[in-house]
Amino acid sequence: MKGGKGLYSVRMRAERGHAHISGAEGIFGENDIGETVLAYVARALHHSKGAPDTLELKVELLPRPPALISALPVCTLKTTCPADAKRKAALLLARAGVSERAIGKAFRILSAGRMRGAALLDAAGGERLEPDRKRGVRASMLGISRGAMKSLEAALSEKKLDHPRVKDALVLASKVASADGIAAELCISDDPDYTTGYVAAPALGYVRLPRIKKKGSLEGGRAFFTTKASAASRLARYLEETPVLVGKISEIGDIITLHGLQARHNHRKPGGKKILGKKDRTGRAASGPGRLGR
Ligand code: COA
Ligand code: AMP
């Protein structure tokens, strides 16, 4: 096996009675492995879902140097309740090019919960593309450099968002968004105590959605939407196997309204396209919650 300039993937997963409790991973140089393993063990033993009975740690030399990417820019959307947050999530997904049918399907999958990874859906037709629907696909072999992590923590602290969950999810979503053919991701945590979800997309960044579910709810999961259904297995291989390291962060923004997000994207016009249309400000665009059957 060829070395990855001495970089290792360190992965932890903890379970109790075969039920998954927590997982974490990163990419580190040899000198940081010991400290990381201790931190992961402490995290697993003090998880809000309770103590595990089994803790598995893997330390694996990267087969090749990681691809370097930037983290997605982050903002938090103003939301009032689960219905409002879901309606806004649907609008964002539609703007990222996901069809109403695929959005509806993703929300139904996430409502049912209990997946071990993410559903992979055709952004146009909504068809499930992963071979094992209970497992889904898992984004793995990912991490953030020491320098980028320092900058991220400082920027998140300023917005009172410096929490491991936000950092981990941002790294994961940034790898997913870096994949060829990814239109967007939708995530609702399956942790009954954590009620902030997100929509992430190359064109939108990482948009946090507070109050997307009620406290105590067991719903949750992830959906990845692709515009290249015919290359689904290549995409899954990239997500699961290609080492990717976040080496740079982007803007960590404030709490904004849908209108504010629209103004920001109209101003920047990434890729020369508007991200949110005028209609969206009034909430009349294609995929309101009623149209999603939720
Ligand atoms: N839910 C339920 N079971 C899970 C799980 C999850 N989220 N993650 C792993 N498992 C269990 C499954 O039984 C899996 O077997 P399967 O492939 O048949 O489903 C088994 O663990 C082995 O998973 P695998 O991914 O091969 O293990 P790993 O040791 O290589 O990596 C993780 C484990 C948890 C580190 C990795 O899967 C992962 O999720 N990495 C991203 C972590 C992260 O940053 N998450 C951000 C959350 S905000
Ligand atoms: P969490 O953010 O840890 O609460 O996880 C929410 C949901 O995301 C889980 O229920 C899984 O369905 C899914 N998930 C967890 N880890 C991964 C991963 N590494 N890649 C893709 N999906 C994941």
Determine whether 271 is exposed, middle or buried from the number of CB atoms within 10 Å of its CB (0-12, 13-18, 19+). exposed
Res 294: pLDDT: 26
Q: How far is the CA of 140 from the centre of ligand 1 (A)?
A: 8
pLDDT of residue 114: 86
Nearest to 207 by CA among 83, 74, 72, 110: 74
For the chain, which residues make up each domain, given as ranges?
68-273
What are the DSSP calls for the chain, one per residue? ----TTEEEEEEEEEETTEEEEEEEEEEEGGGHHHHHHHHHHHHHT-TT---SEEEEEEEE-SSPPEEEEPPPEEEE---SHHHHHHHHHHHHHHTT--HHHHHHHHHHHHH---SSEEEEETTT--B--S-TTT-B---SEEE-HHHHHHHHHHHHHTT---HHHHHHHHHHHHHHHSTTEEEEEEE---TT---EEEEETTTEEEEETTSS-TT----EEEEEES-GGGHHHHHHHHHHS-EEEEE---EEEEE-HHHHHHHHHHH-GGG--SS-HHHHTT-STT-GGGGT-
Using most ligand atoms within 8 A of CB, pick from 21, 190, 225 the residue to mutate for ligand 2: 190
Centroid of ligand 2 to alpha carbon of 221 (angstroms)? 6
Of 85, 43, 108, 53, the C-alpha closest to 207 is 85
> pLDDT (tens digit, 0 to 9) for every residue of the chain, 294 residues total?
344 459 999 999 999 999 999 999 999 999 999 999 999 999 999 987 889 999 999 999 999 999 999 999 999 999 999 999 999 999 999 999 999 999 999 999 999 988 999 999 999 999 999 999 999 999 999 999 999 999 999 999 999 999 999 999 999 999 999 999 999 999 999 989 999 999 999 999 999 999 999 999 999 999 999 999 999 999 999 999 999 999 999 999 999 998 888 777 765 544 433 344 444 433 333 333 222 222
Our answer on whether the CB atom of 191 is closer than 6 Å to any ligand 1 atom is no
Residue nearest to atom 23 of ligand 2 (CA): 117
pLDDT at 264 (0 to 100): 75
pLDDT at 259: 86
User: Considering the entire predicted model, what is its pTM?
Assistant: 0.91
CA 184–ligand 2 middle distance (angstroms): 15
Give the per-residue pLDDT at 262: 76
Q: State the ligand closest to the CA atom of 115.
A: 2
pLDDT score at 266: 65
**For the chain, how big is the Rg over CA atoms in Å?**
18
The pLDDT value recorded for residue 208 is: 98
